[in-house]
Amino acid sequence: MPAPTNTEKIAELQNLVSTLTERIDSVRQEVRNTGADVGRINEILTQLREKLASFEALLTEIKQWKDQFGAADLKTECVRLREHLDELRQWREKLEANELKSSVEVIKEKVTKLETNQDKIGSRLWTLVPPVIGVLVGVLASAAIAYTIGKRDAGTERPNPSQSQESSIKSPVATSLSSTR
């Protein structure tokens, strides 16, 4: 194969230079994009640093609080609070039991009052029975007497009550008239 000519070499060099120029331009573009990404990364890193600083401040505050009370004090305080809670639960159960007992006693009292009221009503009704029987006996006796008198008088003629009243009315008037004449 023959050796390449100078023009061919120059053309090949021009192709290589244009390819390298394109590659350098793309690398520059990537470096620019990376610079923007680095800016965003720096912003995120500063936010993380701020958050880390606030967490460190909280952690030191918690440590101071813990040191102030002490771990043993916290445990004993928790134990005391649990004992107090148990006492309160027992007290509540006793109160509930007492309330149930008192409500049962109230119900029993009301039932006995109802029973005594029913007994009083019954005795009052029984006190009405003798007068009612007396009235019935009286009515029956009156009816029997009226019946026997009516039978006895049925055989004899009775004077007309209206005539006897008229005569008694007229006689005083007649006497008064006769005396004035």
Q: Tokens 């331009």, residue?
A: 25
Tens place of pLDDT per residue across the chain (181 aa): 678 888 999 999 999 999 999 999 999 888 888 877 888 888 889 999 999 999 999 999 888 877 777 666 777 888 888 999 999 988 888 888 877 777 788 888 888 898 888 888 888 888 888 898 999 999 999 999 999 998 888 766 555 655 555 555 555 555 555 555 5
Q: Is the pTM of the predicted complex or chain greater than 0.85?
A: no
In total, how many domains does the chain have? 1
> d(Cα 170, Cα 35) in Å, to the nearest integer?
152
> d(Cα 3, Cα 150) in Å, to the nearest integer?
180
Q: Using a pLDDT cut of 70, give the percent of the chain over it.
A: 82
Please state, as a whole number, how many other Cβ atoms lie within 10 Å of the Cβ of residue 159.
8
Distance set, CA 138 to CA 18, 145, 152 (Å): 150, 10, 21
Is 153 domain-assigned? no
> d(Cα 80, Cα 110) in Å, to the nearest integer?
45
Domain assignment of residue 58, given as a range? 1-69
Is 109 domain-assigned? no
- Tell me: the pLDDT tens digits for 11-57? 999 999 999 999 999 998 888 888 778 888 888 899 999 999 999 99
Is 38 domain-assigned? yes
Q: Tokens 């720096």, residue?
A: 42
- Written as six digits, the tokens of 172 are 């005083």
